[in-house]
Structure 1
Amino acid sequence: MGLRRSAIVRWAAFGLACLVFQAVVFARWIIAGDAHAHSSGGYTIPHAMKIATHIGQATAGLLFLALAAGLWWECRAQGRVTLKTAVFTGFCFSFWSNPYVSQFHYAAANNRYDLNVATWGPYLPGWRGDIPAIESFLMEIAYPVMLVWIFIALAVARLLALHRPHWSPRRTLAATTLVMLVCEPILTGAYQRLGGFAYPRALPGSLTLFEGQWYQLPINSTLSVVGFFIVPVLAMALHAGEGREVHLFRGSPQLPRRARPWGRLLAGVGLMNACTLGFQITMALASLISHPIDLPSWWDRPTS
């Protein structure tokens, strides 16, 4: 296979295109003067929730820095950009598409007490969501922090491989996926309780955990997180095997030495943007068959 047709070049090219695209979107947003915090007020929030939000902000921020530092040292120790580092970098440059979740309905609620800015949604092609709207710190940093979910999945897979060495990668993947379908609501639920975000719409047919509560969790969220973010990375890691390059990086040895780290990082950006867009589209489509619930005012959209 030629270099131009290799997986790393294709994913890196898509990643570069995503970076250029979001640079244009954010530049237009900034030039128009919309890159500012939304006016505060117009809502009430319990004191306990204020404290939880501050704890959530501090925890997410420190976790982000810890992940970045740990991955930096991992790359230096191995002398290359690792899969986890590429995925983390991709997460850091994929939050731009978050407004698409609320393409048809207000489907992902930002915490108005959290650090926030007016949404850049109007500058995204085809976006037709309601305004005014905001994008909050805890909502956007949730993407790179979600690497913890992937760490847990990889740890579960290693345990299964240790105790079930005769299992095939496909069987280990299936078993780990089932475990993560149980773990994911717990992890996301904890993040929600710390003021991370809320789902203002519930699925019909009792397919929403804690339905009617602001911390409710539609099952499509869990299925989408596991299906779009965890399974692709886990599948690559399991099928690569010991000493082999994962699919995402196939062809990297053919790149010039100085270009390899950038190629691997850009490939990670491409992969996670594709995964994130798949997640956003799925959640937006699910909002078409869901119904709204009453939310506390700090989760409602701003009205002016």
Structure 2
Amino acid sequence: MAQASAPAASGSTAPGGDRTPAGRWRCPIVWWAVFGAACLVFQAVVFGRWIAAGDAHPHSSGGYTIPYPMKIATHVGQATVGLLFLVLAVMLWQECRRQGRITLKAAVFTGYCFSFWSGPYVNQFHYAAASNRYDLNVETWGPYLPGWRGDTPAIESFLMEMAYPVMLVWFVIALAVARLITRRRPHWTPRRTLAATTLVMLVCEPILTGAYQRLGGFAYPRALPGTLTLFEGQWYQLPVTSTLAVVGLFIVPALAMALHAGEDREVHLFRGCEQLPRLTRAWARLIAGVGLINAGTLGFQAVMALASLVSHPIDLPSWWDRPIR
């Protein structure tokens, strides 16, 4: 699963084996980077309009009560997530310097850091993802997203948005599980290893997300019909659509790329990087990561928003309720 230093060539070539100028830009890393750049520009416009309108400020406090233990949990969650973010950033910086290039984990982490802008789309039809009102928060930028029709007032909280970069921990665990399986079952194909790792992550993901929820991260205010919601009726309930979407859209694509690349090929996300001008390669790898993770994030928001249409609301403690004026 290591990224190779001499990736396999792909695309059209000119006589003598050199890639043609046109073919240089028709490769996966360029496609992903173009989409990633579009996402960066789009969110810059959204946040620019949000700030210019004067909505980039905390929502007025009050209108809810929160138990003292939950206050402590929220503060612990904020400190833990902030420290974890810094540790991950430093470790990835060191990893990139050691390898002399932007690694897959670094690109994925960058993608997570620039994908939270689409979060309000989860609440497109119903109040389907609840922020902790005691947490650090700001007025939602949802009204500045095209097509958004959610209810306001609404907030976006620190722990809710930091859940995206922290998701790298999920990916690192998946990589570790895949490596363990590969060592113990070296004859397995990448596809079989991917399937086994996916099953393990489907078990691990509710545990990881559940821990994050209990630290005040976020809550799901709506339950799916039947037995499709873990701990149904509790503020820390977890619909199975969340687990399936997190594993299927955030973890599996990048993991599949790592497994199918093996030890001697570049991962799909970075294919064609060696043909780009040297000064653009690092940026192209980072922005390609932004494109990959934004594609998964938009898919996640769509799944959760659509799932809310067949769900029903539960009674929430007041600190999880949608703010009122």
TM-score by length of 2: 0.93
Cα deviations across residues 197-216 of structure 1 (Å, max 9, x unaligned)? 00000000111000000000
Give the letter aligned to residue 31 of structure 2: R
Quote the offset at 1:179 in angstroms.
Answer: 0.3
What is the 5 A alignment of 1:17-166? 17-166=38-187
Equivalent residue number for residue 274 of structure 1:
295
1:245 equivalent to 2:276? Answer no
Cα deviations across residues 113-153 of structure 1 (Å, max 9, x unaligned)? 00000000000000000000000000001000000000000
1: CA distance, partners of 2:180 / 2:287: 30
Aligned pair count reads 304
Equivalent residue number for residue 209 of structure 1:
230
Equivalent residue number for residue 248 of structure 2:
227
Quote the offset at 1:57 in angstroms.
Answer: 0.3
1:302 equivalent to 2:302? Answer no
Cα deviations across residues 230-273 of structure 1 (Å, max 9, x unaligned)? 10011000000102100000000001111000000010001111
Instruction: Could you tell me which runs of 5 or more consecutive residues in structure 2 were left unpaired when the two chains were aligned.
Output: 1-10, 12-22
Quote the offset at 1:62 in angstroms.
Answer: 0.4
Runs of 4+ in 1 over 2 A off after TM superposition: none
2: CA distance, partners of 1:72 / 1:244: 22
2: CA distance, partners of 1:233 / 1:11: 13
Cα deviations across residues 78-101 of structure 1 (Å, max 9, x unaligned)? 000000000000000000000000
The structure 2 residue matched to 1:13, chosen from 26, 34, 49, is 34
2:25 is paired with a residue whose SS is helix
Equivalent residue number for residue 216 of structure 2:
195
| RMSD (CA atoms) | 0.4
1:135 is paired with a residue whose SS is strand
Give the letter aligned to residue 141 of structure 2: W
1: CA distance, partners of 2:246 / 2:76: 24
TM-score by length of 1: 1.00
Give the letter aligned to residue 58 of structure 1: A
Instruction: Could you tell me which runs of 5 or more consecutive residues in structure 1 were left unpaired when the two chains were aligned.
Output: none
Equivalent residue number for residue 286 of structure 2:
265
Give the letter aligned to residue 15 of structure 1: G
